Structure 1
Amino acid sequence: MTQAREIRLASRPEGWPTAENFEFATVELPSLNDGEVLVKNEFISVDPYMRGRMNDTKSYVAPYEIGGRIEGGAVGRVVESRADSLPEGTLVLHYQGWADYAQGPAQGFTALAELPGGAPSSLYLGMLGMTAMTAYTGLTRVAKMKEGDVVFVSGAAGAVGTAVGQIARLLGASRVIGSAGSEAKVNLLTEKYGYDAAINYKQEPIRQALPQAAPQGVDVYFDNVGGDHLEAALDVMNRGGRLALCGAISVYNEKGQPAAGPDNMANLIKQGLMMQGFTLGDYVQDVAGEFREKMTGWFAEGKIAYDETVYEGLDSTIDAFIDMMKGANTGKMVVKL
């Protein structure tokens, strides 16, 4: 039998999560049945949406159970197989989450192509995976971005934001503006990711800085932050503008009474704006094939840049998650096992 270590939810966080909200456990994995595989994970993902699943509230996906493993994306390699479709050595994607091994029916694992040039398999959790597909979906399906649009992205140096900026540029945006929380990240956006302008919101209030960065207004706003960034975007949206709400990381760890909403919601009426929240699950069947074709082509042509913040070892996963929530990552945050 194989012993697997996993991380479970020990208690529901109140405000910011702490190490005390999690626990490690060792489990004995049973012998494989016909049609099953055993996978040794190479990388596991930590993502902002996981914070929402730690609350016992109604959402688009069921909350984590107390005492249950933290589920999420992971990539690994089949080390034992009783399924002809996934022989030993196959690289796979799955969603069993925070553990060093995963096991189950082959249908729960997706075979992946080996990446060229020594690119890490972790890219299937970020720029070649659900993260970038979320960016593509928000731009093309929700905001219905058109060639020539001015695009503003909050949280632009994060996993989704670095994908949004590049995809917007490749789809013909006339100007791409991003916000980030440090000078190093701001410089990275303009020097590596094709942003025309970037704002350090910790240096100057975003509501003051955005009109200067977008003198001709904004047509598409891709929101990863919420709060003051959403207010700032509503101030500068052009008539007929579209706002795609992907995340609101500024409020995920608030305690008590939620903060009041934007004070300029009337601009939705005045400017004829469309504001829509979305989750990838509602679009994935429609968009997946199109996204893979385009992103694979762009990546092969050298048009896609990426950054990863990599923590080492399963024991570092909780720190990686908390640090990601605090904005310590550039690009996708992953844990290498």
Structure 2
Amino acid sequence: MPAETVNRQWLLARRPNGQVSVEDFARHDAPMPRADLAAGEILVRNLMFGFDPAQRGWMDDAPSYLPPIMIDEVVRGSAAARVIASANPAYPEGSMVRGLFGWQDYAVAARAGDPDLVSIPEDIAPEEALGIFGAASLTAYVGMFDVGRLRAGDCVLVSGAAGAVGSVAIQIARLAGARVLGIAGGAEKCRWLVEDYGADAAIDYRCEDVRARLGALAPDGIDLFFDNVGGTILEGGIAHIARFGRIVLCGAISGYNDVRGAVGPRNLMRMISQRAEMCGFILLDHLDRVPAAMADLRQWVRGGQIHYRTDIQHGFGAVPQTFLRLFSGSNQGKQLLRIDGTE
């Protein structure tokens, strides 16, 4: 097939058994989708992919908030794309959109409304649409304000604090007048937390005793814990939760590749004695908050009050390896990939 009629795809070749690997994916060339669209549909050309740890969970054959990716199905993932054909006046040809278009060159979208489909304004670059103005930042906003009920004066702890969600959560807490502690892996990322993102202190889980450090840094306890990690890190937060404290469960990356199941939490009795609460959440349940969140994020980012990093890899062939960077800690900020031409 001529190159312009080929739709390069990455399929889920098998379900990962523990640690996800490149061999779990298979490259496939399919015909480009036809442009004879039904009413409401659009045809998009993906330009950039965004990667999130949650994608690992979608690869398991287990109930979740989204159905599992099927074997030999295009891997579900977010992308920034250009509309190249449209039967939907809300998304005219030539406009930019963001959605779960999957690891492929082309996709037909807007079937049955596709609630994840979002227009990208002209003043927002693709890397911003998938990064600082994407789902990760919106998740941080909703988790802090709506689920965690963030208040000025709170002692706030964020785990996975150097990641796309955690780094924004830290800065939102700082802007709200909280005292903020962050947990990350490695000296460089801990330096980011304090010097770039404004945390009051950072804990390096790779070389420090997290519980001991929390005891020293938060002797009166943690009022709000925004957890992206789970496992023993979640246990540590519970061990130091303040009376009537709140724990927001955003992710559990420590267990995503663990076939044995993550350790803990084994100290839930402390939640009872402290009259604390713990709540999980998904951004999809709070889409009504997106306009307000975007307005605040734009003001903070354009005003220099929120800083961010993006790690941009290149080339369609590097998609699986780029995804794996999330689980080795290699990514230096929000993990993205710019789709180059034929390789």
Q: Give the TM-score of the pair, scaled to structure 1.
A: 0.93
Task: Indicate conservation of the 8 Å contact 1:244/1:277, yes or no.
Answer: yes
- Shift of residue 264 of structure 1? 2.0
Q: Does 1:183 align with 2:191?
A: no
Task: Indicate conservation of the 8 Å contact 1:115/1:121, yes or no.
Answer: no
- Shift of residue 102 of structure 1? 2.2
Larger mean Cα displacement after TM superposition, 47-56 or 83-92: 83-92
Could you tell me the percent identity over the aligned residues?
38
- Aligned partner of 1:160 in structure 2 is 165
SS at match of 1:283: helix
- Aligned partner of 2:26 in structure 1 is 23
- Aligned partner of 1:236 in structure 2 is 240
SS at match of 2:82: strand
Among 273, 276, 281, the residue aligned to 2:276: 273
Task: Indicate conservation of the 8 Å contact 1:32/1:38, yes or no.
Answer: no
Segments of 5+ residues of structure 1 without an aligned counterpart are none
CA RMSD of aligned residues (A): 1.7
- Aligned partner of 1:295 in structure 2 is 297
- Shift of residue 121 of structure 1? 1.5
- CA deviations on 1:72-95 (whole Å, 9 max, x unpaired) are 211111233444433332111121
Q: Which runs of 4+ in 1 moved over 6 A?
A: none
Q: How does 1:55-134 map to 2 (within 5 A)?
A: 55-105=60-110, 108=114, 109-115=117-123, 120-134=125-139
Task: Indicate conservation of the 8 Å contact 2:35/2:85, yes or no.
Answer: no
Larger mean Cα displacement after TM superposition, 106-115 or 321-330: 106-115
Distance 1:191 1:260, change over 3 A: closer
Task: Indicate conservation of the 8 Å contact 1:64/1:70, yes or no.
Answer: yes
Letter aligned with residue 24 of structure 1: R
- CA deviations on 1:129-178 (whole Å, 9 max, x unpaired) are 211111111111211111111110001001101110011112221x1110
Letter aligned with residue 203 of structure 1: C
Task: Indicate conservation of the 8 Å contact 2:230/2:262, yes or no.
Answer: no
Task: Indicate conservation of the 8 Å contact 1:45/1:97, yes or no.
Answer: no
- Aligned partner of 2:327 in structure 1 is 325
- Aligned partner of 1:205 in structure 2 is 209
- CA deviations on 1:224-263 (whole Å, 9 max, x unpaired) are 001111111112111110000111111111123x244223
Structure 2 Cα separation of the partners of residues 306 and 240 of structure 1: 32
- Aligned partner of 2:307 in structure 1 is 305
Among 34, 40, 44, the residue aligned to 1:39: 44
Larger mean Cα displacement after TM superposition, 233-242 or 102-111: 102-111
- CA deviations on 1:181-215 (whole Å, 9 max, x unpaired) are 11000001111111110011101121222222223
Q: Give the TM-score of the pair, scaled to structure 2.
A: 0.91
